[in-house]
Structure 1
Amino acid sequence: MTMKRLIIAFATTLGVSLSSFASPAVAFNGGNVLACDAPQVLSHIQNRFVWTDRHVLKRGLAIESIQRVHPNRTRFEGQYWSIPRLYCHGTAHMNDGHKRQIWWLIEGGMGFAGLGNNLEFCISGLDPLKVHGAWCRSVR
């Protein structure tokens, strides 16, 4: 693995903790997880994408808005060791005029040191190193 790929993987993983969010908006099957369309989730995605574009992609892109937000699926097996996961989907309106598909995953209790939630997101066509697999597979 090249050094650039390691840095990108580390940067995208490190900055996605949502532990600063105090109150969960939605609870499903015993796990407290923010809703797909929670304002703090959408603003975190937009801010994190700007940072990633500025430091990694260097294309001058930004997300102007995220529309048509809906849950894609939820996963919670019901055992005490299971991690509640909420998979979400929407359309990202970019500053270059294009609309791109965006997927994100909210994991309950998986923030830094197990505090808060974790958020991973992927925008179709903007994951050149396939950090989230081909076609954003790991967050679909």
Structure 2
Amino acid sequence: MGAKILVSTCLAVVATALTVADSRAATPRCDDAAVVGSVESRFSRNNRQFLKIDLSIADFGIIRETGFRPTDATHRVERRFCHATITTSDGLGRNLWYLIESTWGFAGLGSSVEFCTDGLDPWHVYGARCASLR
């Protein structure tokens, strides 16, 4: 009898852990290759198109998660906030802030990524020093 209770308890703990992991799995990790690749290619394109400068990401340094907001009754989009140190093609080290949102991809499928680099947002689209993505 005691073994059955122990097994039931263990299964309940595992199920809870899997539920938490599944929730976080909806949004890719900050260091996910597809996320980093998207930021890298869009960074160059956006700088050429909007700032009229030829600037690209030469290297990603440390990438870390700075926040996570799971879905709940009032927030239907899971959000993962990230920070990376980057070196740009001009040799400067910069702070890159980005946000990964689940279910905000094309037609509500997949995820979307918004990003901002300190000093490269002259219109403060993301607030002063990329505040809304921190």
Q: Deviations over 1:20-71 (max 9, x none)?
A: xxxxxxx553661111001111111110011111111112111112110010
Normalization by structure 2: what TM-score?
0.78
Whole-Å Cα distance in 1 between the matches of residues 28 and 103 of structure 2?
11
Q: Does 1:113 align with 2:107?
A: yes
Consecutive unaligned residues of structure 1, counting only runs of 5 or more, are: 1-26
RMSD, matched Cα: 1.7
8 Å CA contact 1:90–1:102 kept in 2: the answer is yes
In our comparison, the structure showing a higher alpha carbon Rg is 2
Count how many residue pairs are aligned between Structure 1 and Structure 2.
Answer: 114
User: 1:78, CA displacement in angstroms?
Assistant: 2.9
Normalization by structure 1: what TM-score?
0.75
Q: Which is bigger in relative contact order (C-alpha 8 A, separation at least 6)?
A: 1
Whole-Å Cα distance in 2 between the matches of residues 95 and 119 of structure 1?
22
* Structure with the higher helix share, 1 or 2: 2
Consecutive unaligned residues of structure 2, counting only runs of 5 or more, are: 1-20
8 Å CA contact 1:29–1:78 kept in 2: the answer is no
Corresponding residue of 1:84: 78
TM-aligned CA distance change 1:129 to 1:80, over 3 Å: closer
Corresponding residue of 2:43: 49
Q: Does 1:65 align with 2:67?
A: no
**Structure 2 residue corresponding to 1:122, chosen from 108, 116, 119:** 116
Corresponding residue of 2:31: 37
TM-aligned CA distance change 1:81 to 1:75, over 3 Å: closer
Whole-Å Cα distance in 2 between the matches of residues 28 and 135 of structure 1?
33
**Structure 1 residue corresponding to 2:132, chosen from 124, 131, 138:** 138
What SS does structure 1 have at the residue aligned with 2:81?
strand
Percent same amino acid among aligned pairs? 37
